[in-house]
Amino acid sequence: MSAPSPLAPPPGSPVPEAPSRPVPSPSGRSLRLALCLAPLLLAGCWAVADRPVLYEGARRLVAADPRWLLAGFGCTCLTWVAASCVRQGALPDRLPAGLLLASQVAAGAANHALPGGLGAHAVTVRFLRARGVPLDRATASIGLYSLVKAAAKTLVLLVLLTVSPAWRRLGGLLPDGTELVPAAAVAGGLVTGVGVLLTAVRPLRRPVTALVRTALADARVVHALPCRALALWGGAVAMPLVQAGSLGCVGAALGLELPWPEVALAFLAAGTAMGGAPVPGGIAVDAALVWTLVAFGAEPAPATATVIGYRVVTDWLPLLPGALVLSALIRAKVL
């Protein structure tokens, strides 16, 4: 008969219970539920307050020209191609084109859950890690993607401001100087706080410094390769143009009666002003876009219908195929 193990409890002693997982407090669950429902509550309040405009917009969307709506969906599909080009251009490693395009289709579905493109970035990082790209270089490519995308969007906006006379109407949409002071103070405080943290906390400074060093090294490599630089900047410039093209097609289907340059300018101006709002689904951008289209001379009903149709064509119609592609990539262990 073998001797009992010295690590075993004595015979007859109570068996210790396994540590249980901490149960979230009711207040914590309530807070998370409130944060998840806040965008829906805001959208519901807006719909209740503007019932006549919303009803007229939905009625116009049902009677819209399906050919223009199909063209708008085609522009939405082109955004996946443009995003794939920018993702490939931001990384020196060659990625499989088909799987990269599929990952961007799936990333569009993931963007419904998280604001600011975080869902798409998370899917892309998992895709790059599965392709053998180290985590620091995958994260650095996300930073380069975001930086180039913002720079290209600003460049396109400046060009449209130069060629379109409608830029004068944007002056009435800008807040007064007194309203900009608190926003500037908050932004300055955030930048100062981040700088102090990076300077004082060494365990935080080291990984951030290494990430910046990796990003700069990869940026030099991709800009030394003409094909990568063309994919990076060409895709970044094409992305806002095809997005604005989708909005213009939906507007043409609904009788918006605004020239395409003004529609594109309204789209870029609203996205630049409200794109950083931490709200999933682009609710803040949609409200700003309706406001900007009306300021450019559109009637409220067709402007609202155009924005609703744009959201249907660019978000809700691609949601089902995007979710199916995301599930297929997970089952195939591509993500």
Per-residue HEC secondary structure of 101-123 comes to HHHHHHHHHHCCCCCCCHHHHHH
Region 61-78 average pLDDT: 88
194 pLDDT tier (thresholds 50, 70, 90): low
Round to whole Å and give the CA distance between 59 and 42.
22
User: What residue spans define the domains of the chain?
Assistant: 52-331
Residue 235 pLDDT greater than 70, yes or no: yes
pLDDT of residue 91: 92
Higher pLDDT, residue 38 or 227: 227
Of the listed ranges 99-108, 258-267, 275-284, the one predicted with least confidence: 275-284
Percent pLDDT > 70 in the chain is 66
Q: Which two tokens stand for residue 221?
A: 């490599």
Q: State which of 12-21, 142-151, 276-285 shows the largest mean pLDDT.
A: 142-151
Nearest to 295 by CA among 317, 269, 314: 269
pLDDT of residue 21: 46
Residue 160 pLDDT greater than 80, yes or no: yes
DSSP-derived 3-state class of residue 207: helix
pLDDT of residue 39: 44
Helices 300-311 and 66-89: crossing angle in degrees, nearest 10, is: 50
pLDDT of residue 204: 67
Residue 63 pLDDT greater than 80, yes or no: no
Mean pLDDT of the chain: 77
Residue 88 pLDDT greater than 90, yes or no: yes
pLDDT of residue 322: 85
Round to whole Å and give the CA distance between 67 and 304.
20
Nearest to 126 by CA among 149, 100, 144: 100
Q: Which two tokens stand for residue 93?
A: 């490693």
Round to whole Å and give the CA distance between 312 and 306.
10
pLDDT of residue 19: 45
Higher pLDDT, residue 257 or 188: 257
The upper half-sphere exposure of residue 310, i.e. CA atoms within 13 Å in the direction of its Cβ, equals 28
Round to whole Å and give the CA distance between 324 and 335.
13
Q: Is the Cα torsion angle 266, 272, 278, 281 positive or negative in sign?
A: positive
Q: Which two tokens stand for residue 196?
A: 């102090």
Residue 178 pLDDT greater than 70, yes or no: no
Nearest to 127 by CA among 147, 148, 141, 113: 141
Q: What is the pTM of this model?
A: 0.74
Round to whole Å and give the CA distance between 157 and 286.
18
